[in-house]
Amino acid sequence: MTTAAKTKRLERMDDLVSLCARRGFVFPSSEIYGGINGFWDYGPLGAELKQNLKALWWQRVVRERPDVEGIDSAIIAHPRTWEASGHVEHFSDPMVDCRACKKRFRADQLEGVEPCSAREGTSEHDFTDPRNFNLMLQTQIGASEEAASVAYLRAETCQPIFNDFKRVREAARQKIPFGIAQIGKAFRNEINPRNFTFRSREFEQAELEFFCHPSEREKWFEHWQGERLAFHRELGFGDDRLRTRPHAEDELAHYARAAVDVEYLFPFGWQEIEGVHDRGDWDLSRHGEYSGKDLGITDPETKEHYVPMVIETSVGVDRTCLALLVDAYTEEELEGGETRLVMRFPRGLAPIQVAVTPLSKKLAEPAHALEAELRRRFNVFYDDAGNIGRRYRRQDEAGTPFCVTIDFDSAEDGRATVRERDSMAQERLPLEGIAAYLSEQLEAPA
């Protein structure tokens, strides 16, 4: 058996970017037209990875909890929504333009920007004064241009949750404390999209708004911090790459009482992947005011009428996918000097769970029969092209936890070889027990 002599984790983002394009995890959107800055497409492997991540979040945050309901709202909300939420007035970043090269930058992120290419005798930019730039993407609704009204693509998925609060609480017959969650696209016209998918203009968020009595806000803020950290640990992020960072007083959004970022150590430094926020009663009070509807609650026992407090957990699906890709990336130097690139995803999140790899095309019949059986439970890839060692390497790069190889003895002894991704260990198992074996292995923590 081959074993790894030395392992190396990801150091340069470029290595990951090129693997992601080559293997079809993620690549620039509209690539044939030269791409479009801040927009990315997920290919077959990336779409599966992202789907598995969202399913795990939904499972932990919605399905396992009697006190959380899931929704799926429209991307475009009534424009008053964004006035009430403060986005029309406040959702902006300071930007500066270089008068020489015409490039635009965030005024608070000028450290390390590329030098000016247009000035003579200096590579320093000739910046304008900072101006505020609203990050919401606008569109028009209505058939004719004159009659059309401006609308916004949602800048965060939580505002429609507040709009729907009363309806969902009544329909689901929930009592305070309870939460409403959704996963979906959000759009921000970021001034400088960068670091691969980390800062994009179109991205997905998975958000929970948890509504509680004012006397319990600290308790729930603590509770959700703990839950969310446990989730990131379940993704395999070790303590050396995961930390929480409370916001300083001057960093807090104008409505927030407390906020904690969950940060992951990317090759470009510690960066936020999730925020846990105590938003107080800001959102429900504002939407109550702007809509003229009473979004308060009357306690059935004490008859106290109050506006619930909101604890929010807001995770970027794409940023977490990026952290999963960074975390999984491992280069191993094998005995004999060969290098193997292996994506060590947690087994349950891997895009493909099992590859069926018959030793020869002549074994197609039993191999396809096994494939058909396994497809009922797993995402399966069938590969009979090229030598078996090369096929294993291709699955290592895709992060596939198991390969099952049917060989010429299989018809005689009713067994096939199961090869595990990380240890590269191989064992021969009875064909009829393979599906059950894989189920057990894929559910166990990696």
Residue with tokens 């945050």: 61
Half-sphere exposure of 300 (CA within 13 A, CB side): 3
155 vs 295 by CB, closer to ligand ATP: 155
H helix and E strand count, the chain? 12, 24
Q: How far is the CB of 364 from ligand ATP (least distance, A)?
A: 44
Interface pick for ligand ATP out of 200, 330, 395, 405 (rule CB under 6 A): 200
234 vs 272 by CB, closer to ligand ATP: 272
Strand partners, 186: 203
Residue 217 backbone dihedrals phi, psi, to 5 degrees? -65, -40
Tell which residue, 189, 206, 210, has the closest CA to residue 72. Answer: 206
98 vs 155 by CB, closer to ligand ATP: 155
Site membership for ligand ATP, residue 266 (CB under 6 A): no
Interface pick for ligand ATP out of 273, 276, 297, 349 (rule CB under 6 A): 273
Contacts of 286 (CB under 8 A, 6+ apart): 84, 85, 86
Report how far residue 209's alpha carbon sits from residue 399's, in angstroms, rounded to the nearest whole number: 34
Interface pick for ligand ATP out of 316, 346, 351, 358 (rule CB under 6 A): 316
Alpha carbon distances (Å) from 39 to 188, 203, 272: 11, 8, 19
What is the DSSP secondary-structure string of 368-431? Answer: HHHHHHHHTTS-EEE--SS-HHHHHHHHHHHT-SEEEE--TTHHHHSEEEEEETTT--EEEEEG
Q: How far is the CB of 135 from ligand ATP (least distance, A)?
A: 9
Kindly indicate which of the ranges 172-180, 230-238, 316-324, 409-417 contains the residues binding ligand ATP, using the contact rule CB under 6 A: 316-324
208 vs 356 by CB, closer to ligand ATP: 208
Contact 40, 29 (CB under 8 A): yes
List binders of ligand ATP among 124-183 (CB under 6 A).
156
Q: How far is the CB of 255 from ligand ATP (least distance, A)?
A: 13
Contact 160, 172 (CB under 8 A): no
Q: How far is the CB of 53 from ligand ATP (least distance, A)?
A: 12
Report how far residue 443's alpha carbon sits from residue 22's, in angstroms, rounded to the nearest whole number: 29
Q: How far is the CB of 188 from ligand ATP (least distance, A)?
A: 5
Tell which residue, 302, 74, 42, has the closest CA to residue 196. Answer: 42
Interface pick for ligand ATP out of 166, 199, 391, 421 (rule CB under 6 A): 199
Report how far residue 121's alpha carbon sits from residue 212's, in angstroms, rounded to the nearest whole number: 61
218 vs 272 by CB, closer to ligand ATP: 272
Site membership for ligand ATP, residue 205 (CB under 6 A): yes
Interface pick for ligand ATP out of 225, 314, 330, 405 (rule CB under 6 A): 314
Assign 228 to helix, strand or coil.
helix
197 vs 353 by CB, closer to ligand ATP: 197
207 vs 384 by CB, closer to ligand ATP: 207
Site membership for ligand ATP, residue 225 (CB under 6 A): no
Residue number with the smallest Cβ distance to ligand ATP = 316
209 vs 383 by CB, closer to ligand ATP: 209
Instruction: Count the residues of the shown chain that bind ligand ATP, applying the rule CB under 6 A.
Output: 16
Site membership for ligand ATP, residue 275 (CB under 6 A): yes
Alpha carbon distances (Å) from 420 to 113, 341, 355, 433, 440: 44, 15, 11, 16, 14
Residue 315 backbone dihedrals phi, psi, to 5 degrees? -115, 140
Site membership for ligand ATP, residue 229 (CB under 6 A): no
Report how far residue 239's alpha carbon sits from residue 223's, in angstroms, rounded to the nearest whole number: 19
Q: How far is the CB of 128 from ligand ATP (least distance, A)?
A: 22
Interface pick for ligand ATP out of 278, 318, 371, 384 (rule CB under 6 A): 318
Report how far residue 265's alpha carbon sits from residue 273's, in angstroms, rounded to the nearest whole number: 10
Site membership for ligand ATP, residue 319 (CB under 6 A): yes
Report how far residue 290's alpha carbon sits from residue 432's, in angstroms, rounded to the nearest whole number: 63
Site membership for ligand ATP, residue 313 (CB under 6 A): no
Site membership for ligand ATP, residue 48 (CB under 6 A): no
23 vs 188 by CB, closer to ligand ATP: 188
Site membership for ligand ATP, residue 190 (CB under 6 A): yes
**Pairing mode, if any, of strands 242-246 and 258-266?**
antiparallel
Q: How far is the CB of 251 from ligand ATP (least distance, A)?
A: 9
Residue numbers of the site for ligand ATP (CB under 6 A)? 156, 188, 190, 199-200, 203, 205, 272-275, 314-316, 318-319
